Structure 1
Amino acid sequence: MPAVFRPSAVRTNLPGLAAITLAVTIALAVNRLLPAVSPLTGAVVLGVVVGNLPVLPDSAKPGLKWATRRFLRAGVVLLGVQLSVAQVLQLGGGMLLVVLVTVVVTFFGTVLLGRLLGLPRGLTLMVSTGFSICGASAVAAVEGIVEREESEVATAIGLVTLFGSVSMLALPLLSGGVELGMWAGASVHEVAQVVAAASPAGAAAVAAAVVVKLSRVVLLAPLAAGLSVVERRRRPVVEGKRPPLIPVFVLGFLAMVALRSTNVFPEAWVPRTKDITGLLLAGALFGLGTGVQLRSLARTGPKALVLGLGSTVLVAAVAYAGVRLVG
């Protein structure tokens, strides 16, 4: 019997799993009342609150630690089900080039800005990935690859939430002369924020925005694999182990994209899988949030805000120029 299913392991992990279940339920309820607050955002905020108040029993901590990483990886793998190569190719070569250039320039520009600000490398890499690819999901995908502190994960997710929300509100007001759906898909961080940003332009703009956004998500796999290679070279061998050349969950993500693209994965299952993905990632982000200590977070607060603002302006500007050029 695998260790996780042994009665002792079940008893150890059960309180933490119960806490995650309750937290995700609350996050879903908040999302229904306030649709602009995604379950992922609600879950991580709730985790930070719980982690900084004396309400989380010690008995819940082992289960939280056990579930957080497993839920995270499972959620990223299932995220691949939402993508198909055909959807991406429909955008055309020009728009795909815009997406690629926007992601590359945003990632490396944010890395450079983080270095200039003297911010920790782990935080900078997570922010660079989240802002250039797909927000909290991208942060979650690379947090186990790069060297980082627990508080830096929540900082990165908090910045994605804050500046993604700013972009969501600002883009419709600034979109004169450019197609809003394409611009939102190429620059806004979270999928839910992309939908909200494009919605003033109508259903067609929302559909276009989602496809462009998913084309950015495709680049999560090569970016995560590249970071893994770099970390493998940087970090010394610890206890005979090194970071994997390509993380297994990245291979799983690619496998799910392949299954969706070849119609092996039933189309009718896609919406249900999307819901499961959201639940897994919300549970994982709650667990990550509980590890955040606001005192340590405050030490990098102002510089982190500058990093988030700079990265947001960069991704929006590059995407705007690209959409105008090909549109």
Structure 2
Amino acid sequence: MSTVLVARPSATSATGQPRPSVVPGLALSSALGLTAWLTHTLVPGVPTTLVAVVLGATLAGSGALDGARDTATAPGLHVASRRVLRVGVALLGLQLALTQVLALGWPVLAVALLVVTGGIAGTLALGRLLGLRGELLVLVAAGFSICGAAAVAAVAGVRRSRDADAAAAVSLVVLCGSVVMVALPGVALLAGLDPVQVGAWAGASTHEVGQVVVAGGLAGGGTALSVAVLVKLGRVLLLAPVVAVLGWQARRGGGEQGERAPLVPGFVVAFVLLAVARTWLPLPDLLLTVAGGVQDLALAVAMAALGCALRPRVLGAVGGRGLALAAGSTLLVVLLGAPVVLAA
């Protein structure tokens, strides 16, 4: 698969010149991320990550980042897609009140565990049957099975995956997750499921947290929305151990990526600690509100940067087998999540 390599800033160039500035790329991704965040604020039904990726991909596809502009913005875009992303993922821990998630009951949590583990294993197996190898396969498996773009970027960071592979995986998450977001509530309601069952199935099967919110709203909001988000957070809870395992696997595999991958990334530790703090410390509502806004904005900036790496040739390189993998993984996750209807 052909990929686009995004330049990484270094202390000096080969000629001893000062390292390239990260300001242009950070400013660009921040502007796009802020636009996406404001769009979601004005139109809550539109996921922030979706808008951010689309804005970045549209700009990249227009040719506006080719040539000298690519050289100027690449260092900052790389920082945004890695370091800023880690801030957003770490702050995601503050959304996890573990007692509320555990209150769902062990049958529901067992389904969430089945979706994550079965989804990852099944997607990897399907990819190999399709003749796919490499980081894109791992990123799709994690993103579709856990929490979408945030999981893709978190795993990409710990495995040192190429930005173009991460961008392609994010685009597939956005595409397939949007289909599930709209179709699943309609199918569930036509099947005569009650709001709790619809919400549980949506939370167990939809890729992005933002897409789950939209699906819960389409299912009628209220109880359906609350249950959908809680079940989804049960899957998000598994992000930390999955990232740690995949990081360990990358180290064990050797080579450049494996040697550089940390065993337990700092942002994963922060994610766990913040989840513990959210659960057992009396944190002020204002702090949680501000942290939630910062988290949304950080993820929007990071997703915009990944979108900027999504050049037309990258999408073309995904090909029919990549699309088949995405469709098959989506169907697998939806089917694995279906038993939650009986457990809810």
When normalised by structure 2's length, the TM-score is 0.86
2:337 corresponds in structure 1 to 319
1:143 match: secondary structure: helix
**Structure 2: distance between partners of 1:62 and 1:316:** 38
2:271 corresponds in structure 1 to 253
Alignment: residue pair count: 320
2:202 corresponds in structure 1 to 184
**Structure 1: distance between partners of 2:123 and 2:178:** 19
CA deviation profile, 1:273-302 (whole Å, cap 9, x unmatched): 111111111111211222233213312232
> Are residues 1:174 and 2:187 paired?
yes
**Structure 2: distance between partners of 1:222 and 1:256:** 15
Q: CA deviation at 1:75?
A: 0.8
Match for residue 25 of structure 1 among 6, 13, 34: 34
Is the CA contact 2:20–2:75 (under 8 Å) kept in the aligned structure 1?
no
Q: CA deviation at 1:150?
A: 2.5
Q: Which runs of 5+ in 1 are unaligned?
A: none
2:118 corresponds in structure 1 to 105
Match for residue 159 of structure 2 among 143, 146, 149: 146
2:228 corresponds in structure 1 to 209
**Structure 1: distance between partners of 2:118 and 2:51:** 30
**Structure 2: distance between partners of 1:35 and 1:312:** 24
Is the CA contact 2:168–2:314 (under 8 Å) kept in the aligned structure 1?
no
Is the CA contact 2:53–2:303 (under 8 Å) kept in the aligned structure 1?
yes
**Structure 1: distance between partners of 2:171 and 2:124:** 18
CA deviation profile, 1:123-171 (whole Å, cap 9, x unmatched): 1111111111111111111112235333221111111111111111111
Is the CA contact 2:33–2:303 (under 8 Å) kept in the aligned structure 1?
no
**Structure 1: distance between partners of 2:125 and 2:287:** 41
Distance of aligned partners of 1:90 and 1:65 in 2 relative to their CA distance in 1, 3 Å threshold:
same
Range with bigger deviation, 216-225 or 189-198: 189-198
**Structure 2: distance between partners of 1:112 and 1:207:** 33
Is the CA contact 2:53–2:307 (under 8 Å) kept in the aligned structure 1?
yes
> Are residues 1:299 and 2:312 paired?
no
Q: CA deviation at 1:91?
A: 0.3
**Structure 2: distance between partners of 1:161 and 1:220:** 18
2:62 corresponds in structure 1 to 53
**Structure 1: distance between partners of 2:37 and 2:341:** 37
Is the CA contact 2:91–2:291 (under 8 Å) kept in the aligned structure 1?
yes
**Structure 2: distance between partners of 1:237 and 1:55:** 32
Identity of aligned residues (%): 42
**Structure 2: distance between partners of 1:202 and 1:67:** 34
Distance of aligned partners of 1:162 and 1:82 in 2 relative to their CA distance in 1, 3 Å threshold:
same
When normalised by structure 1's length, the TM-score is 0.90
**Structure 1: distance between partners of 2:268 and 2:318:** 30
Is the CA contact 1:76–1:277 (under 8 Å) kept in the aligned structure 2?
yes
Q: CA deviation at 1:264?
A: 4.8
Q: CA deviation at 1:10?
A: 11
Q: CA deviation at 1:43?
A: 1.3
Distance of aligned partners of 1:32 and 1:251 in 2 relative to their CA distance in 1, 3 Å threshold:
closer
> Are residues 1:134 and 2:147 paired?
yes
1:13 corresponds in structure 2 to 22
Q: CA deviation at 1:120?
A: 3.1
Q: CA deviation at 1:246?
A: 0.9
> Are residues 1:232 and 2:245 paired?
no
**Structure 2: distance between partners of 1:36 and 1:9:** 45
Aligned positions of 1:77-88 closer than 5 A: 77-88=90-101
**Structure 2: distance between partners of 1:242 and 1:262:** 35
Q: CA deviation at 1:256?
A: 0.7
**Structure 1: distance between partners of 2:19 and 2:48:** 26
Range with bigger deviation, 10-19 or 204-213: 10-19
Distance of aligned partners of 1:263 and 1:294 in 2 relative to their CA distance in 1, 3 Å threshold:
same
**Structure 2: distance between partners of 1:268 and 1:9:** 42
Is the CA contact 1:122–1:147 (under 8 Å) kept in the aligned structure 2?
no
CA deviation profile, 1:186-205 (whole Å, cap 9, x unmatched): 11111221122122234011
Distance of aligned partners of 1:9 and 1:274 in 2 relative to their CA distance in 1, 3 Å threshold:
farther
User: RMSD between aligned alpha carbons?
Assistant: 2.4
**Structure 2: distance between partners of 1:318 and 1:118:** 24
Range with bigger deviation, 143-152 or 223-232: 143-152
**Structure 2: distance between partners of 1:98 and 1:66:** 36
**Structure 2: distance between partners of 1:91 and 1:20:** 38
Distance of aligned partners of 1:25 and 1:326 in 2 relative to their CA distance in 1, 3 Å threshold:
closer
2:6 corresponds in structure 1 to none
Distance of aligned partners of 1:109 and 1:245 in 2 relative to their CA distance in 1, 3 Å threshold:
same
2:158 match: secondary structure: coil
**Structure 1: distance between partners of 2:316 and 2:279:** 44
Range with bigger deviation, 269-278 or 181-190: 269-278
